[in-house]
Amino acid sequence: MRDVRVRFAPSPTGALHIGGVRTALYNYLLARQYKGTMILRIEDTDQGRFVPGAEEYILKALSWAGIKIDEGVGVGGPHAPYRQSERKAVYMQYAQQLIQSGHAYHAFDTEAELDAMRERLKGKDNQQYSSGTRMEMRNALTLTESEVKILLETKTPYVIRLKVPENEEVKVNDLIRGEVIVNSSQLDDKVLMKSDGMPTYHLANVVDDYLMKISHVIRGEEWLPSAPLHVLLYQYLGWKTSMPAFAHLPLLLKPDGNGKLSKRAADQMGFPIFPLTWIDPETKEVAKGFRESGYLPEALINFLAFLGWNPGTTQEIFSMQELIDAFSIERIGKAGAKFDILKAQWFNQQYLRTKSDDTLTGYLLESLTKENIACTKEKALKICSIMKERVTFPQDLWEQGKFFFIAPTSFDESVVSKKWNDDVVKVLTAYKEALGNLTALNATLAKTALEEVATQVGIQSGKIMQAFRVSITGGASGPDLMITLEILGKDEVINRLEYALQTLKVKV
List active site positions.
263
Exposure string of 448-459, with b = 16+ CB inside 10 Å and e = fewer, is ebbeebbeeeeb
**How many CA atoms, within 13 angstroms, populate the side-chain half-sphere of residue 356?**
3
Exposure string of 257-286, with b = 16+ CB inside 10 Å and e = fewer, is eeeebebebbeeeebbbbbbbbeeeeeeee
Classify burial at 482, counting beta carbons within 10 Å of its beta carbon; exposed 0-12, middle 13-18, buried 19 or more.
Answer: middle
Helix (H, G, I), strand (E, B) or coil at 72: strand
- Per the CB < 8 A criterion, the answer to whether 3 and 215 are in contact is yes
Q: Beta-carbon neighbour count of residue 53 at 10 Å?
A: 14
Task: Using DSSP bridges, classify how beta strands 178-183 and 169-174 pair: parallel, antiparallel or unpaired.
Answer: antiparallel
- Per the CB < 8 A criterion, the answer to whether 198 and 209 are in contact is no
CA pair distance 470, 415, nearest whole angstrom = 7
Q: How far does Cα 432 stand from its chain's mean position?
A: 51
- In 177-308 the beta strands, taken as DSSP E runs, fall at 178-183, 191-193, 216-220, 245-249, 252-253, 278-279, 286-287
Find, among 330, 494, 475, the residue nearest to 411 by Cα: 475
- In 276-335 the beta strands, taken as DSSP E runs, fall at 278-279, 286-287
Helices (H), 155-273: 201-211, 227-236, 263-269
**How many CA atoms, within 13 angstroms, populate the side-chain half-sphere of residue 102?**
1
Sorted by sequence, the CB contacts under 8 Å of residue 186 that are 6+ apart come out as none
CA pair distance 242, 214, nearest whole angstrom = 9
- Per the CB < 8 A criterion, the answer to whether 337 and 251 are in contact is yes
Q: Beta-carbon neighbour count of residue 505 at 10 Å?
A: 10
Q: Beta-carbon neighbour count of residue 9 at 10 Å?
A: 25
CA pair distance 189, 130, nearest whole angstrom = 5
CA pair distance 248, 265, nearest whole angstrom = 23
